[in-house]
A and B are shown apart, each in its own frame.
Chain A
Amino acid sequence: MQIYADNAATTRMSPEAVAAMLPYLEENFGNPSSLYAAGQRAREALEAAREKVARCIGADPRGIVFTSGGSEADNQALLSAAALGQKAGKRHIVSDAIEHHAVLHTLKKLEKDGFEVTLLPVHENGVVRPAELEAALRDDTCLVSIMYANNEIGTIQPIREIGGICRRRGVPFHTDAVQAVGHLPIDVRADGVTMLSASAHKFHGPKGVGFLYAAPGTPLVNLIEGGAQERGKRAGTENVPGVVAMSVALEQAVGRLPAHAALAALRDRLIAGLAEIPHAALNGDAEKRLPSNVNFCFEGIEGESLLLMLDDLGICASSGSACTSGSLDPSHVLLAIGRVHDVAHGSLRLTLGDDATEQQVDYIVQAVRQVVAQLRSFSPVWRDLTAGKTPFIL
């Protein structure tokens, strides 16, 4: 059996999105900035896509800036808010410990430029507490940036509550919604969001395209100079085929949201199955969680080995172990929810697709059980744990 269970990494493009982009690679290849009819056809397609995307998140189309993806949108949102804050003498930013590196690394850069950053804790369940966020706000806070849903442990943040607080306190609120757009119902107005980042390839659109929503009137600074595209906020000839495909994929994804209760039921079946493996623990809140996300730690084993053995069994998954992150430390998200290094190395993330089935879930449970047992059979850590030489953590 072949199961792609790494949909938080990227998704397969929807056939309809592929079909929608083809005419803009072939006959309608014109540059939207050109005045002749072929250019204007591309322009119309671009603007139609903008309206479609805006509708999917309850936004004003004028607030949608097409970007190369989520990371660019995150960078632009943070740097824009910081530039605005700077002008007003406000140099404090509130965010949290489990943000994507597109946010965390940009915050690091801002710190070097003299900004002060408060990273809120997310506690054991991986969720920000609004009261703590409110308490962290200061007179010189120029931005709150809290992700909509976490890419590793799938926890969903209390965005509407945070949006309400920010609105009341007059602080711009950005949310990295890369894992949420197309996966959760989003309404930027009701959520009180000033800026939102999204990426097409997370919802069955193409790679290399995404968008930044910025409420009309929010000043943006350019990351890329060189032309008047995107109302002067993002230079460069627009990725028309990508944008068109993104709009189609997003519309489809939003249309599938009502069916997500079934996906959540499969997720819970997977969680229940994996929880039966001894000395294993779910990472992140069991309920405030994306319907597709399952993330576990297994004591006594290492994640990369786990992934490669699962790959041999036809399962594509990911891990927060240091070996898979290319650094010496395991995932900052797992460390932030209190997992110590020893168990954080043994993490497994499975993110189901909309087309997941009970048979697939049951196969995954059986495969993970088998592989964990196999790796434990020659793990000196597991030997010491079972011999009582070291205490179990999980």
Chain B
Amino acid sequence: MALYSEKVMDHFRHPRNVGVIEDADGVGEVGNAKCGDIMKMYLKIEDDVIRDVKFETFGCASAVASSSMATELIKGRPVSEAMQLTNRAVAEALDGLPAYKMHCSVLAEEAIRNALDDYYARHPEKEKEA
């Protein structure tokens, strides 16, 4: 059996939503180079909907795939829904991750949460729903 599912390899080989949003409404960064994984998420939000999302990742294949999948799961979704994204949902959408790589999906969840927190911090008038 291969180390990763076909879906992980697909998202690793062809990551979706790679890049930077210069005028992002929320930016989140988690991890550090010391432990080998860094994820950065950029959100463009209009009318409480995530209109665009981009990511950059330094890390292993499962980190790249987790960030890519997470962007797919929240793109075009309401902010309130994105707040509910769990690492489990990311891992499941990837047809599973090896147990010792589950932390990569946790990082993806945290990166998105982090970017949304940044958005809320910039918009104190908005009510946080989660």
List residues of A whose CB falls within 8 A of some B CB.
300-302, 304-305, 308-309, 312, 321-323, 326, 328, 330, 341-342, 345, 377-383
Q: For B15, give its contact among A308, A322, A378, A383 (CB under 8 Å).
A: A378
A-B contact pairs, 9 of them (CB 8 A): A302-B36, A304-B61, A305-B61, A322-B36, A342-B33, A378-B55, A378-B57, A379-B58, A381-B33
Task: Give the complex CA separation of A322 and B57 in angstroms.
Answer: 16
Query: Are the C-beta atoms of A305 and B33 separated by less than 8 Å?
Result: no
Q: For B60, give its contact among A305, A341, A380 (CB under 8 Å).
A: A305
Task: Give the complex CA separation of A308 and B15 in angstroms.
Answer: 14
Query: Are the C-beta atoms of B35 and A378 separated by less than 8 Å?
Result: no
Query: Are the C-beta atoms of B61 and A308 separated by less than 8 Å?
Result: yes
Q: For B38, give its contact among A312, A328, A330, A381 (CB under 8 Å).
A: A381
- In this complex, what residue of B is CB-closest to A304? B60
Query: Are the C-beta atoms of B60 and A323 separated by less than 8 Å?
Result: yes
Complex interface: chain A residues within 8 A of B63 (CB): 302
Complex interface: chain B residues within 8 A of A321 (CB): 36, 60
Query: Are the C-beta atoms of A341 and B34 separated by less than 8 Å?
Result: yes
B76 on the A face (CB < 8 A):
no
Nearest CB on B from A21, distance (A): 29
Query: Are the C-beta atoms of A380 and B56 separated by less than 8 Å?
Result: yes
- In this complex, what residue of A is CB-closest to B40? A380
Q: For B35, give its contact among A301, A308, A341, A379 (CB under 8 Å).
A: A341
Complex interface: chain B residues within 8 A of A300 (CB): 58
Query: Are the C-beta atoms of B60 and A302 separated by less than 8 Å?
Result: yes
Q: Which of B4-29 contact A (CB under 8 A)?
A: 9, 12-13, 15, 18-20, 29
Complex interface: chain B residues within 8 A of A326 (CB): 100
Nearest CB on A from B69, distance (A): 15
Interface string of B31-55 (1 = CB under 8 A from A): 0011111111000000000000001
List residues of B whose CB falls within 8 A of some A CB.
9, 12-13, 15, 18-20, 29, 33-40, 55-61, 63-64, 100
Task: Give the complex CA separation of A124 and B18 in angstroms.
Answer: 37
Task: Give the complex CA separation of A302 and B101 in angstroms.
Answer: 15
- In this complex, what residue of B is CB-closest to A326? B100
Query: Are the C-beta atoms of B33 and A341 separated by less than 8 Å?
Result: yes
| Residue in B56, B60, B100 with the greatest tally of chain A CB atoms within 10 Å | B60
Q: A305-B12, A305-B64, A312-B13 are in contact. Are A382 and B58 (CB under 8 A)?
A: yes
Complex interface: chain B residues within 8 A of A383 (CB): 20, 56
Query: Are the C-beta atoms of A302 and B59 separated by less than 8 Å?
Result: yes
Complex interface: chain B residues within 8 A of A330 (CB): 36
Task: Give the complex CA separation of A322 and B64 in angstroms.
Answer: 16
- In this complex, what residue of B is CB-closest to A345? B36
Q: For A302, give its contact among B13, B34, B58 (CB under 8 Å).
A: B58
Task: Give the complex CA separation of A378 and B42 in angstroms.
Answer: 13
Complex interface: chain B residues within 8 A of A381 (CB): 33, 38, 58
Query: Are the C-beta atoms of A378 and B34 separated by less than 8 Å?
Result: no
Complex interface: chain B residues within 8 A of A377 (CB): 18
Task: Give the complex CA separation of A309 and B20 in angstroms.
Answer: 23
Query: Are the C-beta atoms of A302 and B37 separated by less than 8 Å?
Result: yes
Complex interface: chain B residues within 8 A of A305 (CB): 12, 59-61, 64
Closest 7 A/B residue pairs (Cβ): A304-B60, A323-B60, A342-B33, A380-B40, A380-B56, A341-B34, A345-B36
Complex interface: chain A residues within 8 A of B29 (CB): 380
Query: Are the C-beta atoms of B12 and A308 separated by less than 8 Å?
Result: yes
| Residue in B9, B13, B61, B63 with the greatest tally of chain A CB atoms within 10 Å | B61
Query: Are the C-beta atoms of B37 and A328 separated by less than 8 Å?
Result: no
Task: Give the complex CA separation of A312 and B36 in angstroms.
Answer: 22
Complex interface: chain B residues within 8 A of A378 (CB): 15, 18-19, 55-57, 64
5 further interface pairs, Cβ-Cβ under 8 Å (given A321-B36, A379-B56):
A302-B63, A305-B64, A341-B35, A345-B36, A378-B55
Complex interface: chain A residues within 8 A of B59 (CB): 302, 305, 323
Nearest CB on A from B72, distance (A): 15
Task: Give the complex CA separation of A302 and B60 in angstroms.
Answer: 6
Complex interface: chain B residues within 8 A of A328 (CB): 35
Nearest CB on B from A278, distance (A): 17
Task: Give the complex CA separation of A342 and B58 in angstroms.
Answer: 10
Complex interface: chain A residues within 8 A of B20 (CB): 383
Task: Give the complex CA separation of A322 and B63 in angstroms.
Answer: 13
Complex interface: chain A residues within 8 A of B12 (CB): 305, 308
Nearest CB on A from B107, distance (A): 12
Complex interface: chain A residues within 8 A of B100 (CB): 326
Q: For A380, give its contact among B15, B34, B35, B38 (CB under 8 Å).
A: B38
Query: Are the C-beta atoms of A301 and B58 separated by less than 8 Å?
Result: yes
Task: Give the complex CA separation of A382 and B58 in angstroms.
Answer: 8
Complex interface: chain A residues within 8 A of B56 (CB): 378-380, 383
